[in-house]
Amino acid sequence: MRYDHNQSNRVEIQKALAELDSWAVADGKLHREYRFRNFVQAFGFMAQVALLAERAAHHPEWSNVYGRVVVDLTTHEAGGITRKDVDLAREMEEIAGRSRPVPAGG
């Protein structure tokens, strides 16, 4: 499934974002910032996600500074947000939940 900028696909993106409440659309990509207690916890999260992403052949755009991981998801070959991005975001949320990130604003 591909989400583009027509009305029905905007509705699908909004449905996905309702489940992924810490995610937003920024610059046409799914966007999220995670904050972890320290670098080791942040890097551990990234290592776990990297294994899933490699298996799915779907890699995030991301950066890490100490306990912060900034993530953007888009499917380049499709030119926008697709089901692959939503699925990876969901998996990232599961991993982050086990890693106990710092609450937003914390």
* Closest of 53, 6, 13 to residue 29, by C-alpha: 13
pTM, two decimal places? 0.83
Q: Which residues are catalytic?
A: 54, 58-59, 76-77, 85
Distances (CA, A) of 57 to 63, 77, 99: 19, 12, 23
Q: Which CATH class is domain 2-99?
A: alpha beta
pLDDT in tens, 33-42: 999 999 999 9
Q: What gap in Å lies between CA 99 and CA 47, rounded to an integer?
A: 12
* Intervals of the chain under pLDDT 70: 1-9, 100-101, 103-106
Per-residue pLDDT tens for 79-92? 889 889 999 999 99
3-state per-residue secondary structure call for the chain: CEECCCHHHHHHHHHHHHHCCCCEEECCEEEEEEECCCHHHHHHHHHHHHHHHHHHCCCCEEEEECCEEEEEECEHHHCEEEHHHHHHHHHHHHHHHHHCCCCCCC
Given a contact cutoff of 8 angstroms between Cβ atoms, the answer to whether 3 and 9 are in contact is yes
**Residue in the block written with tokens 């939940």:** 97
